[in-house]
Amino acid sequence: MASFLLALTLLLATPTHAQLADWIDTRPDAPGLNLAGATVITAASDADVVTLAADHLRRDLATVTGKTAGGDPIWAGTIGRNPAIDGLIATGKLDAKRLAGAWESFVIATVERPAPGVRRALVIAGSDRRGTAYGIYELSRAIGVSPWHWWADVTPLRQARLSVRPGTRRFGPPSVKYRGIFINDEDWGLTPWSATVFEPGTRGMGAKTYAKVFELLLRLKANTLWPAMHKISPAFNANPENAKLADRYGIVMGSSHAEPMLRNNVGEWTADAHDYDYGKNPDGVRAYWDERTRTNGKYDSIWTLGMRGIHDSGMQGADDMATRRKFLESIIADQRAMLARHVSRQVERVPQVFTPYKEVLDVYRAGLEIPDDVTLMWPDDNFGYIRRFPTPAERKRPGGSGIYYHLSYLGAPLSYLWLSTTPTALIAEEMGRAWDLGARAMWIVNVGDIKPAERETDYFLSLAWDAPGTRALGVEAWTRRWVAENIDAAQANEIAAVLAEHHRLNFIRRPEHLQWHLPGQKARMSPYSVAEADARLVAFDRNVASVRRIAGQIPEARRDAFFELLGYPVEAAAEANRRFFAAEAHDRLRDADLPRALARGTEARAADARIAGLTGTYDALAAGKWRGFIAVEPADGQWKSYRLTPPVLPAPSSAGPPPAVLAEPAASRDITLDLRRFTGSWRSVAGLGRNGPVLGSRTDRAVAGTAALSLPTGRWRAIVDLIPTYADGDGAPLQLVLRIDGKVYPLNITRETGNPAWAQAVLDNRISVELPEAVTAGTHRIELGAETGGILVEAIRFVPY
């Protein structure tokens, strides 16, 4: 890892626009194996996915070098399925000891005189079909072809010379066995775009679109897909060719918590909805599931067990906990019997998953028995905070545990479907905890429409492939590397800083959550004064100015990618805030200062127009490739019970432009303790605080830190602000102890979902707890301890009475 970090530092210090692996050489006189015009050789006896990946590599090499002949050979194959690879191993020319029996692993090695008449070759050998495909795509990535080359228009930059330095590079096995994405809530982006632009004349989300999804997954070293499942999308398995295509790409197909046995109920249950009831129609339900095990049993699949409603709703016909538990245990037994009949008699070897999501978690807590070989899939609360982690007993189960995580969500209290603003630091923190606490069997991330969650998806899957290495690298260095790969290596530091500020501002309040009342409630204003809101807009303006300054330095070939991955999200978030807060300023100022109010109304309308203009620019990118893909929230009037209220903009007026100088915020008397002062065993977590790093508890044991603070004259309210995580234990409260001059204040914060406190916490990304007594003036000794793991302290504030 140390050598990797050194190589990364040298790469980012080099004034070049391209990002290549440290084992790729571009010097004209480099002595390594020549890739320009290399011939890619596979075996007919190998898996289809190897052939597909090799075709992509040939195209990638030609794109980067401009040559299709004249280079050294590349041998790519799977152990046991490629005679040439097996021959190299048998003669000792290729060391593959670590590959034998490994899961999805590969080596990339230069081999001298691999066969008579062949001077040298680059050998890519995989332990299995996906391992070989990953190795092939790893070479593509090493020469500067991003996994997002198609999905984000990351055009590879031309290299006149490419060579591989001698040596053997080993990769795998992955940290998490099953790693993938869930395409969801695709009603406004991916599916209508697919139907009208990419696959016109279809209902969308057909084989052409899924082929692009499968290729992306392989380039990101993922292996699992939960396909689109809303009513607007064709059910994946309704077309048998889709499953065949997934098998050609080596993709493991699964289905969401609401789709047991690979059945898309919304698209495939054709009987009356009331008949999807195991209590009154068990034979009909069983026959429905059994058909899918017969048709798909021959493919790589992960079978979701259990039962919920037709869509994302509770199970019908079970009105009390005892009945729900009894039904689910019978259902799971029936489902496993089907798998034993149609997939494997050794049913314990068939990949199966059970997700205690929403109401099902309560049934599990009530004693629901799940076979030990079934993976338990623990979900977050839909907003990036994992609700539950495996207990010590659950970690011992052969089926292990997994995590279902969200980067996009349609649901209460307010959806977030437009811009992807979950901080990479939060993903690192929560998935890092999952890894530490033993959830390592399966990680699935809900990515919505895939775009615009490219970076966050990439980071999630990077962790899943190599959790120790990705965590050791750190979020900031990983971000710089990703920017160098996908936008511009020469501007990586500046762009990474813009992204960090983008996440800081939008973690305070997502663009889709710019209202301070819940749907159905009476509208109320934000807690920001006009001056405070203006200060927030100034911060957005600075970030936008950085984006526009950087834009002029981006190579022409990467400007579309720059706009998709940086320009649009940063500028659109800024304009969404301007639209909201300028309109609110209009309302606040209308009675006291009408001219200024009218100017702020004009400002709000202009921001709304700029959002439309930015989205129009996105539509026109790459000759209209993404026309209609990006839908500004709220996209329409559907699902009003948990969508942002459409902005009510002030009526047009003859007012001139807004004041050139925005209101200066009044000096705050609040005193915030600098958390960096704390000694002890707290750890510093960057990327989540409003004004700097937060403090994180290290383990489930008590940790303590001490700091000194002086307060001026007066009486002060002490407030502790926390990131709304969940404790390591199931249903356990977050427990802290704050001591002021030796006096103990225990803080126990119960974390539940679905109630108003939870709703406010996930919208604010903050929980605030006030001490019951005032603190007086003077110098104080502050001690902070954590009694549970998973605690993130964002601030300790002292507010005058």
In sequence order, the β-bridge partners of residue 721 are 768, 795
Summarised one tens digit per residue, pLDDT across range 41-68 is 999 999 999 999 999 999 999 999 999 9
Per-residue pLDDT, 753: 92
Alpha-carbon distance 165 to 110, whole Å? Answer: 8
The two counts, helices (H) then strands (E), for the chain are 22, 25
Average pLDDT score over residue span 338-353: 98
Checking if the pLDDT of 656 tops 60, the result is: no
Alpha-carbon distance 122 to 114, whole Å? Answer: 9
Least trusted range by pLDDT, from 322-331, 491-500, 534-543, 661-670: 661-670
Alpha-carbon distance 686 to 477, whole Å? Answer: 12
Do 105 and 172 meet the contact criterion of CB atoms below 8 Å apart? yes
Domain boundaries, the chain: 31-171, 181-454, 494-642, 671-800
Percentage of the chain exceeding pLDDT 90? 87
Strands 792-800 and 671-672: antiparallel
Helix (H, G, I), strand (E, B) or coil at 170: strand
Structure tokens at 339: 């798998």
Alpha-carbon distance 674 to 708, whole Å? Answer: 10
Structure tokens at 445: 């991330």
CATH T-level assignment (fold) for domain 671-800: Jelly Rolls (2.60.120)
Q: Compute φ and ψ for 256, nearest 5 degrees.
A: -70, 175
- Report which of 105, 113, 106, 119 is spatially closest to residue 87, judged by C-alpha positions: 113
Checking if the pLDDT of 11 tops 50, the result is: no
pLDDT bucket at 700, cuts 50 / 70 / 90: low
Q: What is the CATH number of domain 494-642?
A: 1.20.58.2150
pLDDT bucket at 290, cuts 50 / 70 / 90: very high
Cβ within 8 Å of residue 710, ≥6 positions away: 778, 779, 780
Cβ within 8 Å of residue 56, ≥6 positions away: 136, 137, 140, 215
Per-residue pLDDT, 775: 97
Per-residue pLDDT, 668: 76
Q: Where are the beta strands (DSSP E) in 508-581?
A: none
Alpha-carbon distance 272 to 291, whole Å? Answer: 18
Per-residue pLDDT, 153: 99
Angle at 506 between CA 428 and CA 445, to 5 degrees: 40
Average pLDDT score over residue span 490-503: 98
Strands 163-164 and 775-786: unpaired
In sequence order, the β-bridge partners of residue 378 are 403
Alpha-carbon distance 255 to 264, whole Å? Answer: 8
pLDDT bucket at 17, cuts 50 / 70 / 90: confident
Checking if the pLDDT of 161 tops 60, the result is: yes
Place of tokens 């800083």: 497
Average pLDDT score over residue span 423-451: 98
Alpha-carbon distance 281 to 680, whole Å? Answer: 60
Strands 33-34 and 163-164: antiparallel
Per-residue pLDDT, 6: 36
Structure tokens at 762: 């996930």
CATH T-level assignment (fold) for domain 31-171: Chitobiase; domain 2 (3.30.379)
Q: Compute φ and ψ for 778, nearest 5 degrees.
A: 125, 180
Per-residue pLDDT, 13: 38
Question: What are the respective helix, strand and coil percentages of the chain, to the nearest 5?
Answer: 40, 20, 40
Alpha-carbon distance 57 to 50, whole Å? Answer: 10
Distances from the Cα of 777 to the Cαs of 403, 670, 719, 720, in angstroms? 47, 13, 16, 18
Bin 526: left if φ > 0, else alpha if -120 < ψ < 50, else beta: beta
Checking if the pLDDT of 2 tops 70, the result is: no
pLDDT bucket at 528, cuts 50 / 70 / 90: very high
In sequence order, the β-bridge partners of residue 711 are 778
Checking if the pLDDT of 665 tops 90, the result is: no
The DSSP letter of residue 552 is T
**Please, what is the average pLDDT of the chain?**
94
The burial class, CB within 10 Å (0-12 / 13-18 / 19+), for 493 is middle
Structure tokens at 641: 């019970």
The burial class, CB within 10 Å (0-12 / 13-18 / 19+), for 27 is exposed
Side chain identity, residue 787:
E
Average pLDDT score over residue span 556-577: 99
More confident residue, 701 or 589: 589
| CA distance between the termini of the chain | 52
Per-residue pLDDT, 1: 42
Query: Would you tell me how many other CB atoms lie within 10 Å of the CB of residue 313?
Result: 11
Per-residue pLDDT, 16: 64
Residues found in the chain: 801
Alpha-carbon distance 548 to 696, whole Å? Answer: 35
Checking if the pLDDT of 388 tops 90, the result is: yes
Summarised one tens digit per residue, pLDDT across range 206-259 is 999 999 999 999 999 999 999 999 999 999 999 999 999 999 999 999 999 999
Structure tokens at 418: 């437009």
Query: Would you tell me how many other CB atoms lie within 10 Å of the CB of residue 164?
Result: 26
Per-residue pLDDT, 666: 66
Alpha-carbon distance 356 to 376, whole Å? Answer: 8
Side chain identity, residue 190:
L
Structure tokens at 103: 């899961």
Per-residue pLDDT, 95: 94
Cβ within 8 Å of residue 100, ≥6 positions away: 79, 127
pLDDT bucket at 3, cuts 50 / 70 / 90: very low
Alpha-carbon distance 344 to 350, whole Å? Answer: 7
Checking if the pLDDT of 620 tops 90, the result is: yes
Q: Compute φ and ψ for 675, nearest 5 degrees.
A: -65, -20
Do 13 and 45 meet the contact criterion of CB atoms below 8 Å apart? no
Q: Compute φ and ψ for 272, nearest 5 degrees.
A: -60, 140
Per-residue pLDDT, 357: 87
Helix (H, G, I), strand (E, B) or coil at 683: strand
Do 662 and 534 meet the contact criterion of CB atoms below 8 Å apart? yes
Cβ within 8 Å of residue 155, ≥6 positions away: 149, 557, 558, 560, 561
Average pLDDT score over residue span 405-417: 97
Least trusted range by pLDDT, from 269-283, 655-669, 730-744: 655-669
Structure tokens at 703: 């940790």
Alpha-carbon distance 645 to 779, whole Å? Answer: 47
Structure tokens at 142: 């090493």
Angle at 660 between CA 656 and CA 665, to 5 degrees: 120
Per-residue pLDDT, 7: 40
Helices 492-508 and 475-483 cross at an angle (nearest 10°) of 120
Per-residue pLDDT, 8: 39
Helix (H, G, I), strand (E, B) or coil at 744: strand
Alpha-carbon distance 498 to 507, whole Å? Answer: 14
Helix (H, G, I), strand (E, B) or coil at 710: strand
Question: What is the CA 60 to chain-centroid distance, rounded?
Answer: 26
Summarised one tens digit per residue, pLDDT across range 323-341 is 999 999 999 999 999 999 9
Alpha-carbon distance 445 to 646, whole Å? Answer: 28
Per-residue pLDDT, 15: 41
Cβ within 8 Å of residue 667, ≥6 positions away: none
**Second CATH level (architecture) for the domain 181-454:** Alpha-Beta Barrel (3.20)
Percentage of the chain exceeding pLDDT 70? 96
